[in-house]
Structure 1
């Protein structure tokens, strides 16, 4: 099957608006994500390279916020990529004049820079169902080797917290060979960092970075300036047969070590190809294929609700839910049921449709399914009338498509319970109108 590529943006290096308002998103199947602008200038509180989906009560947490990038060419000239905007509103788009192309390849972002004849491609991958991000660099044309300098900048705050949230200082940095762990002064797991490639080295230079402006937050009337912390910087050699990858993760080293960067990228590519293979023929190519890959971003296994997953696994089942929207929405019952047909049945993901229906059946309380789950919470909020009605609609579509009578038998007691509660009346005055039934 051919690679699905979203065409280039027809980049204009002088068009700041294009570089600052076009955004990309990579998700990990847990609710976590990486997101930013084409220019790599953070404009929202939600922008970052690793927003990890952590167990309750933490929820989605900004860990790796930014990566400052410099290239030293074979002739020792140094150029910066990416960009930033300081608290005074001074905008620096360092990489704009070198950025010749940006596209989505199988739904994943690719940047192409040309610097004095050296062509460098950058890709971002998140291994599925892991709170891990790989930032990959490759020299594809031109004279090598070149030397890459990467300066990670971090926080440890809720992704929904204001950008002026104080840094959880002091950060503690532990180094063992090529492995680095950053522990914030709170109860969050450490951020683990590693650079994989040729002749890598790390220089400790811990400090608080200058204050940055987040222009979308400013436009929305929120706190708009904030600081990040940096532990130091990595240097690594980049050549035609020597790619480089920065790995950032909240997973254990044992999990991180299972896949090297090339394996992780290839396995994620194959996973996405399988999604297209399973979809209906009209949705497996062209714009339809792009929609299938986009739909995958919303289907998640809720990493924060460990209890629910454990109970489902003990019963031989699995859990799924739907993120109602990125960046700030969590999973909503109404949105899940409205979108179930398009996200799962039209894309051939019938098993996951069943997981969704059985997962939400476990959340039924007093004849209602949850309206939403708050960020970092285990328990849903039940203040909606129509989510439960949409549940019946989604189940009907599922049964028409799959003929899955076993799931119907499992759910039937819950359906009867919902029916009886609506006849009697339940929370918030929700129930059948006694005047007209």
Structure 2
């Protein structure tokens, strides 16, 4: 993927597009293509610091300056606040982005600058499993003139949600041949800088008043001071020369000593870079093999082994090209999405040993941690479609091991000893994710041995009743929520203000619950049940409980007058009317493996959601006609939280929409082509906002500008899953041929069972 001057020529476009690298530990590197840090989260090394249990911005950036023929050319861009005159407009200086010739993601980021006959390439990478950034410069051109490069590291050593001011830390620097160490105080982790060639010139000072544009727009503190311990000088550089730099963070002095004394040369940095590039290409190749294997088993011709990218002049793929499983556009779109998936897969916790580690999924960059709901929704697209089955199992097993009182953790907050458990749906998403794992792998024995027990415990807890008012009633439906608490995915809350109150019986909770009960019946047998799980179970089998829930659901949730599902219903004795807001949550009643909604009503639900909620990049969370609708996700925390689930568009919802659309239309060819048209805009969006990724949210109003995190796990995951399963028409067939027929038949029977039950 290449973006040239015609796409990067404008200031807003250059500093509005962001790049991202990750290290598989939760750490990352990120900034704008133009080199301007616009967020407090931007940094060339944002490290996962185990001793502090969180992520820290350690190296903010390198200031880059080229000296050529007596003139100085900055490649860096800064934005400074008005100093002692805060009403003054911030100043953009220097404007190094003007020398940017192009940006490529192939599959690692490469920045190309042009200066008076010289091309200067900067390639960046993060080795897997290390808090390290690797930076390589390559100089080329027809001229014999020599130039020099000066690199000035700007460091901060602060928690990534915070900002630093001058003299917050005393900072201590040491240096020797080819190395520099920086620490913020005597007991802090150590930042080890290595360089080849080059000379270090010490001299600390504070760069004051750095202004972060996006933080200002978000209504948050936005001015920071950065510390520079000195600079590196690389002189006498000619065409063909290379320069290598790396920054690594160590948690202890012994490890820092080994980093400082280890051999470091340009060739070693090149090897690190090549290894990471090869690893990403292998992930794409593995995903292609997994999808093509399933396609062959289903008798569908799919060829995704074409080029991983398209030339710039063919960057806009047609919907017909994306829908053709043999077209190069399909191969390129698939490869770009798969490359994006890897950023979110991480192993967190523990140390340099395996003790205490867990395999997980980071919900989004640059600020989210690992969230249970997001992880389990994203798992099929990130790890199963891509053929990373063992990692998928570890994620499922690790989350199941954290279950408490029937609840899966909502999130694992940075700098917290225990996870949060305040969610009603994450536990039920464990069933759906396990179903997907079983469909892809056929590992029935493994599921029964390691995952069926925790899932039974979850179901029993919901039947008996657990935290946050979660309990199945005598009609088989699950009530959730307490005053002042938000426990569904629409969980925006500011102080005591629950923005989208959904206590009662939310529609998607019932869909997930019914699906969970049917899956337990599938695993344990139709005569099995929860045993003594309180009055709600009543000695019924899993299948009996599912049938009861389905009858109650179709009787209570259908809005006969308007032809769609209520979003929340309430107990009759409360006197509260059903919530008739048009929201996308109802799609899960059609899209899950066991649909709870009667088949005769599927099309109506899909049509209402397409008509009222569909936009270019996903579904609105509330219809525009609703008085509570908020169309712009902008402003300070109160404004943004007030719009978060009140009209803001979420790309992850495109997955349930496309699956429900195809199911409602009998998987017709017309519905497949419609799905391709719906997903086509994401091919272009991969070149915008977070380059190579899909944003967390978009405005509900035109022109639907992106917002929130620039790279969101379930956005990428559900677009990829929907693309493979619903556009390329390749659904999972396990690698083991002995299980393939079973899985295919079970999938078919599962759908028809869900479709044919009579509505009461």
What is the TM-score with the length of structure 1 in the denominator? 0.91
Give how far 1:420 is off: 2.1
Q: For residues 307 and 202 of structure 1, what CA distance do their matches in structure 2 show? A: 31
**What is the match of residue 280 of structure 2?**
272
**What is the match of residue 301 of structure 1?**
347
1:310 to 355, 358, 380: 355
Report 1 or 2 for greater relative contact order, CA contacts < 8 Å, sequence distance ≥ 6.
1
**What is the match of residue 83 of structure 1?**
77
Deviations 1:104-124 (A, max 9, x none): 111x22111110001111111
Task: Name the one with the larger helix percent.
Answer: 2
**What is the match of residue 230 of structure 2?**
232
Give how far 1:392 is off: 0.6
Q: Give the 5 Å matches for 1:4-403.
A: 5-8=1-4, 10-13=6-9, 15-73=10-68, 75-88=69-82, 89-106=90-107, 108-143=108-143, 144-161=145-162, 163-164=163-164, 167-185=167-185, 187-197=187-197, 200-237=198-235, 238-251=237-250, 252-253=255-256, 254=258, 257=262, 260-279=268-287, 280-281=291-292, 285-302=331-348, 304-306=349-351, 309-311=354-356, 319-403=358-442
Q: For residues 151 and 344 of structure 1, what CA distance do their matches in structure 2 show? A: 39
Q: For residues 382 and 166 of structure 1, what CA distance do their matches in structure 2 show? A: 38
> Which protein is bigger by CA-based radius of gyration?
2
CA RMSD of aligned residues (A): 2.1
Q: Does 1:413 align with 2:411?
A: no
CA contact 1:322–1:331 (8 Å) conserved in 2: yes
User: Which moves more between the two structures, 143-152 or 378-387?
Assistant: 143-152
User: What count of residue pairs does the alignment treat as equivalent?
Assistant: 420
Deviations 1:6-32 (A, max 9, x none): 45462454x111111111111111111
- Structure 2 portions without partners, runs of 5+: 83-89, 293-302, 306-330, 478-760
User: Which moves more between the two structures, 202-211 or 89-98?
Assistant: 89-98
Q: For residues 33 and 376 of structure 1, what CA distance do their matches in structure 2 show? A: 17
Q: For residues 216 and 119 of structure 1, what CA distance do their matches in structure 2 show? A: 31
Residues 116 and 352 of structure 1: CA distance in aligned 2, closer, same or farther (over 3 Å): same
Q: For residues 166 and 354 of structure 2, what CA distance do their matches in structure 1 show? A: 33
Q: For residues 258 and 431 of structure 1, what CA distance do their matches in structure 2 show? A: 60
Q: For residues 27 and 43 of structure 1, what CA distance do their matches in structure 2 show? A: 19
Task: Name the one with the larger strand percent.
Answer: 1
Give how far 1:376 is off: 2.6
What is the TM-score with the length of structure 2 in the denominator? 0.53
CA contact 1:51–1:63 (8 Å) conserved in 2: yes
CA contact 2:344–2:364 (8 Å) conserved in 1: yes
Give how far 1:234 is off: 0.2
Give how far 1:434 is off: 3.1
Residues 355 and 178 of structure 1: CA distance in aligned 2, closer, same or farther (over 3 Å): same
- Structure 1 portions without partners, runs of 5+: 313-318
Give how far 1:411 is off: 2.2
User: Which moves more between the two structures, 251-260 or 337-346?
Assistant: 251-260
